[in-house]
Structures are given as structure tokens and as C-alpha cells.
Amino acid sequence: MPIQDKLEYHRLAIPGSVAVADGKVELTYSAVAERVDELARSLLASGVKKGDRVITLAPPSIEFWISFLATVSIGAIWSGLNPRYRQHECRVRLEELQAKVTLVLPGDDDRDHLEEIQDIINDSDAGISTEVFSFCEVYGSSGQSYSRLLARGTVVHENRLSAARSAVLDSDIAAIVYTSGSTGTPKGAMLSHGAMLKCAAASMAWLGDSLQKAIMAVPINHVGGLNNLCMNIFAYGGTIRFLSKFSIDLIMQMVTGSA
């Protein structure tokens, strides 16, 4: 089963259930599915095809999750970058992945991630050609706005979106997650739709109703955040509550209901 099929199931079965939350923002499964459709159309309009890569640089957030679901829904391959990566680390990932589109949501620091990525792209030795879009509306020479990307998708007919999704197999690669590199250079591990959903099904059988809600406060590039947390809660039909920066005090407030 492709991951999109699970989202479609939730769209029909539990449309009003809260799928994701970030601060005071909450989106139901129906709303998430609509946003995923919107971005998926825009990626198709930008030339993203089955097997192409899409990169997201972001802290744990609704934007990250929408970008993942939209990318894999059309058979493209998603990979995440940690905003705490230094510029040379981002360069290695950009060179290896050769993404068609790169989406950026600044982290909780004073770095200009858009400018850093554009500097990498502008270096002719890197050989990188990727369109960069910012989830923030402020942009300039270092990127385009997310709204401009979404505007492209308005011309994509439902039939084209459906055709792209119908071509996705559970054996297709959904994500590339890099190893830690503790025994050498980090290597990209390819995770298929089927593997990610089967892992989630095993977790559901083990953890049951404890998957109703969870806090996602770990980097999006890590398999623990993407596969072991988000995919488990998503497959169950629970609520993922994002926290952009790890804070034990805030987590305790969220757990006790005082936040």
C-alpha cells in the first residue's frame, strides 16, 4: 500500500479528527489531505516526477509533514535536512540528492538558511540545480515564496494528480534517511512505502491506543522522528503535536495540559 492510500483512508474514515497540531494551530485529517493535494499539484507543475527528489529543511512542524506526504503521494522521494546542519553538511546532501525542489522553513536561530543554500547552488563546482522555496512569505534573491509555488498547482487537473498517484507502488522508495556516520561517511538509507507502513503496522499491534497522541520534537532528518514517531501516529490515525525546539519544560507542560 502506498502511503497516500493511508491518508485517503483517514480522509474518509476520520475527516474531523485532529491529525497535526503546532502551537495553537490544529488541522484535521480532511484539512491535511487538502493541503497535501495542493502541494502535490504544485510539485507536479514544477516538473517533479516519480523518482525525483524533494528536500525539506525545517524544524519539526506541520510544514515538514505536509511536504513529506505530498512528495511521496506522487511517487517522488523525500529527504529532510536539519536546520542545525552547518553549510558544508547541507552542501553534501544537496550534491548527493540533486533534488528538483527544495523547501525551507527557517529554524529558531538567526541564520539565513535560504541564503546559505543559494550560495551552495551558485557555486558552479557543486553542480546543483534545484528550485528553492521558502515557507515564509519574505523572500528575495535567495528563494521564492511558498505561495508562488502553490499558485503553479492551480493549473494541474485532478486527472493528472490521480494518474501520478495511481502509478505509485508500495515497493517504490518514499524517503532517503541518512545514517549517523559513526563508522564512516553518512549513507542514504532508502525506505519504501511498504516498509514504512509495515513498520507502523507492527508498532500499532504492539502499542495500540497509546498512539493516539505524541509530541514530535526531534529532527525531521532522523529516522526516529520520521518513521518511528510520525508514521506510527499517522498510521493509527492519531494526533502529532509538533514542537520546533526540544524543551523538557514545555514538553512537561504539554503532557500535563498546562501549556
* C-alpha–C-alpha distance, residues 15 and 238, integer Å: 12
Read off the C-alpha cell for 219.
529532527
Q: Is the predicted pLDDT of residue 170 greater than 90, yes or no? A: yes
> Residue ranges of the domains in the chain?
3-256
Annotate 186-217 with b (16+ C-beta within 10 A) or e (fewer).
Answer: beeeebbbbbbbebbeebbeeeeeebeebbbb
CB 102 within 8 A of CB 57: yes
Q: Measuring CA to CA, how many Å separate 110 from each of 83, 87, 94, 114, 247?
A: 11, 14, 22, 12, 19
Answer with the residue of higher pLDDT: 211 or 141: 211
Q: pTM of the full predicted structure?
A: 0.93
Predicted pLDDT at 212: 96
Cα angle, residue 78 at apex, residues 75 and 79 outer, rounded to 5°:
160
Instruction: Indicate the CATH number for domain 3-256.
Output: 3.40.50.12780
d(CA 43, CA 46): 5
2 vs 140 pLDDT, higher one: 2
Smallest CA-to-CA distance from 104 within 154, 43, 54 is with 54
191-197-199 Cα angle (round to 5): 80
